[in-house]
Amino acid sequence: MAKRVATIEPTDQCCPSVLASPLDSTQAAELARGFMALADPVRLRMLSILAAASDGEVCVCEFVGPLCKSQPTISHHLKILSETGLVVGDRRGKWVWYSLNRGRLADLQGALQPIG
């Protein structure tokens, strides 16, 4: 089975490059929230699982086995990723299916890109 690599395209939305000019406090706070959400090994693994998903989404129940974490722990981490806009959930009956918000990831990636 071929491994799928996530492609992140930069956007001109939310966050300017931290290298282009000084950030105001609102911009810095928004970037920090996103980077703090990424600063956890479990959440990084969740993003990699989502990026590798063949259909682009994963049921919340499918994280338990690969991550060796309880369902409440998985839900906690997904809540943080959702609140920071890194993933999007779609409730279907009893379960929630998650997918990456590639635009938000691109914003964070773009914030670290040098200008020029």
pLDDT band at residue 115 using 50, 70 and 90 as cut-offs: low
Q: Which two tokens stand for residue 7?
A: 């492609």
Q: What is the CA radius of gyration of the chain?
A: 15
Tokens 């990424």 sit on residue: 38
Could you say which DSSP state residue 60 is in? G
In a domain, 76, yes or no: yes
Q: Number of structural domains, the chain?
A: 1
In a domain, 115, yes or no: no
In a domain, 14, yes or no: no
Q: Who contacts 19 (Cβ-Cβ below 8 Å, separation ≥6)?
A: 112, 113, 114, 115
In a domain, 82, yes or no: yes
Residue 87: domain span:
25-110
The CATH number of the domain where 83 resides is what?
Answer: 1.10.10.10
In a domain, 49, yes or no: yes
pLDDT at 92 over 60: yes
pLDDT band at residue 113 using 50, 70 and 90 as cut-offs: confident
The pTM assigned to this predicted structure is: 0.79
Report the pLDDT value the prediction gives residue 11, as an integer from 0 to 100.
42
In a domain, 97, yes or no: yes
In a domain, 13, yes or no: no
Report the pLDDT value the prediction gives residue 22, as an integer from 0 to 100.
81
In a domain, 15, yes or no: no
Tokens 């939310």 sit on residue: 14
**Model confidence over 38-58: pLDDT tens digits?**
999 999 999 999 999 999 999
Q: Are 4 and 54 in contact (CB under 8 A)?
A: yes
